[in-house]
Amino acid sequence: MLGLSSNKIASETGLEKRRVLRALNIAREVMLRDIPEVFEGEVEVDETYVGGQWKNKRKVQRLQGTKRGRGTSKQSVFGILCRNGFVWAELVSGVEAVILLPLSNTRVKRGSIVYSDTWRGYTGIAANGYVHRLIEHNRGEFFRHERHTHQWS
């Protein structure tokens, strides 16, 4: 049932849609409880932006011009991926060091290996007691010896 909509699950199982929705919500709550408070070992940190495609924006917004990446009007999200498979993400007001470092410090155990890109928001990770490994995207590098910040497998 992975990747199916609640409507599709309801039609294939013969259950009412509201029962399927309730079961999915219970499963989501259980998965949230399973995330550890503090990650340790090898972890990756990264930021991203979520929001609609430019072509779907209102005309007023499109007339104001576009800005891609950092500085965009999209919502910024900070995430931590532990190499054991656990993931934690949170909506953040910005991606500067004053916002990202406190989140990293509270969610990652000191002494862990932290992989990040070279964004200035991660400057100071090593000074806080972590082993900091950098991946330099601006040089076309997205992995180094099987270590990278974009692990999708």
* 51 touches 73 (CB < 8 A): yes
Structural domain boundaries of the chain? 1-34, 42-139
- Coil vs helix vs strand at 39: strand
Tokens 């079961």 -> residue: 23
Greater pLDDT, 67 or 116:
116
Highest mean pLDDT among 21-30, 48-57, 67-76: 21-30
Residue 9 C-beta-side C-alpha neighbours within 13 Å: 15
CATH fold of the domain at 42-139 = Nucleotidyltransferase; domain 5 (3.30.420)
Please give the Cα distance from 31 to 16 (Å, whole number): 23
| Residue 35 confidence (pLDDT) | 79
pTM over 0.85: no
pLDDT of 151 over the 50 cut: no
Query: In DSSP terms, which residues pair with 133 in a beta bridge?
Result: 115
